[in-house]
Amino acid sequence: MKILDGRVAVITGAGSGMGAAMARRFGAAGMKIVVSDIDLSAAQSTVATLAAKGVEAFAVKTDVAESDQVRALADAAYECYGAVHLLCNNAGVVPAGRHRLVWETPLEDWTWSNKVNCMGVVHGIHHFVPRMLAQGEEGHVVTTASVAGLVSSAGSVAYSAAKHAAVRVTEALYAGLLERQAPIGVTLLCPGLVNTRIYESERSRPAELLPGAGAAPESPELQAVADQLYRSAISPDDVAEQVLQAVLSNQFYVLTTSAFDDAIRDRTQAVLERRNPAFASLLSLVQRDQPSSQKERP
């Protein structure tokens, strides 16, 4: 997309973190913003921040895991503004208990993570892209996946597997729009660590998907390291700036750090060489993502 001023953006998970930062950044570029979140009061507070800067915006309560709610979000956006040019499928959750191994991961974590992190993206594409295509105007779709969707390790598997799926879905969107020669670009945002509230995701878990008794709580060691790393991680505003530039230049892959490049390369090379992979532990992977390595980003 070359022109943002006066155009319309819909951002999911925009009550906090990267979604709120994208709302501020695209609002500052002159876009009207539909601020959507499962937490309505968080979405409303983003709208208040935007309104204070003279940005036109409104809040919609949407659980991206529910197809009907995402359809209603599209209806609300089209009813209010008559068009949508930028869709940011950004909402996501990290189930607690990242150290749990795949066989220890409660089924509720799989269901919750798949519904939000993968189906949330699918719902956005399903309910918005046909209408954006019918509009016939320039547009763009952003998926917030994760570097967790590009590497493998033993931990955080319910989250990472859903992010791997979101990567695949978004690559299919990109390929499909290219095949159609549609004027809609796609960006696959794969952040490393970003200083947001992602590790307080349990606040959004539906009661019916709470894990049963016996699920081990978060590892205190991992939590302590993660707390410290997240406090020193890059800001969501830095990421929002990278997303804005990617939308303007139609860049598909956006990785906010080079800290995971070796892990991505090792996994791909192992596949190509038909050799067994040497996956690093989740802890050692996240420990690589220090601000110094983020600054090395090409």
Ligand X SMILES: NC(=O)c1ccc[n+]([C@@H]2O[C@H](COP(=O)([O-])OP(=O)(O)OC[C@H]3O[C@@H](n4cnc5c(N)ncnc54)[C@H](O)[C@@H]3O)[C@@H](O)[C@H]2O)c1
Active-site residue set: 159
Give the binding range for ligand X (CB under 6 A) out of 36-44, 97-105, 125-133, 212-220.
36-44
Q: Which of 89, 241, 247 is nearest to 166 (CA)?
A: 89
Q: For Cα atoms 262, 113, 107, give the angle at the middle one, nearest 5 degrees.
A: 110
With binding defined as CB under 6 A, does residue 204 bind ligand X?
Answer: yes
What is the C-alpha R_g of the chain? 19
With binding defined as CB under 6 A, does residue 197 bind ligand X?
Answer: yes
* Residue 75 beta carbon to ligand X: minimum distance, rounded to whole angstroms: 16
Q: Which of 63, 2, 51, 62 is nearest to 24 (CA)?
A: 51
Which lies closer to ligand X via its Cβ, residue 73 or residue 280? 73
* Residue 183 beta carbon to ligand X: minimum distance, rounded to whole angstroms: 26
With binding defined as CB under 6 A, does residue 155 bind ligand X?
Answer: no
Q: Considering CB under 6 A, how many residues would be counted as binding ligand X?
A: 31
Helix orientation angle between 157-179 and 119-135, rounded to the nearest 10 degrees: 20
From candidates 91, 118, 186, 246, binder to ligand X by CB under 6 A: 91
* Residue 290 beta carbon to ligand X: minimum distance, rounded to whole angstroms: 13
From candidates 10, 33, 38, 157, binder to ligand X by CB under 6 A: 38
Q: Which residue has the tokens 């609002």?
A: 27
Q: Which of 177, 159, 60, 56 is nearest to 106 (CA)?
A: 159
Give the binding range for ligand X (CB under 6 A) out of 16-24, 103-111, 178-186, 217-225.
16-24
With binding defined as CB under 6 A, does residue 198 bind ligand X?
Answer: yes
- Residue 184 contacts by C-beta under 8 Å, 6 or more apart in sequence? 129, 132, 133, 138, 139, 140, 141, 177
From candidates 62, 105, 113, 152, binder to ligand X by CB under 6 A: 62
Q: Which helix (H) or strand (E) holds 141?
A: strand 139-144
Give the binding range for ligand X (CB under 6 A) out of 2-10, 60-68, 99-107, 133-141.
60-68
With binding defined as CB under 6 A, does residue 144 bind ligand X?
Answer: yes
With binding defined as CB under 6 A, does residue 39 bind ligand X?
Answer: yes
Q: Which helix (H) or strand (E) holds 187?
A: strand 184-190
Which lies closer to ligand X via its Cβ, residue 16 or residue 219? 16
Q: Which of 13, 14, 128, 34 is nearest to 80 (CA)?
A: 34
* Residue 87 beta carbon to ligand X: minimum distance, rounded to whole angstroms: 14
Q: Which of 17, 10, 5, 43 is nearest to 235 (CA)?
A: 17
Which lies closer to ligand X via its Cβ, residue 55 or residue 145? 145
With binding defined as CB under 6 A, does residue 219 bind ligand X?
Answer: no
Q: Which of 219, 124, 250, 144 is nearest to 189 (CA)?
A: 144
With binding defined as CB under 6 A, does residue 18 bind ligand X?
Answer: yes
Strands in 184-190's sheet, in edge-to-edge order, are: 57-61, 32-37, 8-12, 86-89, 139-144, 184-190, 253-255
Binding site for ligand X (CB under 6 A): 12-13, 15-19, 37-39, 42, 62-65, 90-93, 116, 144, 146, 191, 193-194, 196-198, 201, 204, 236
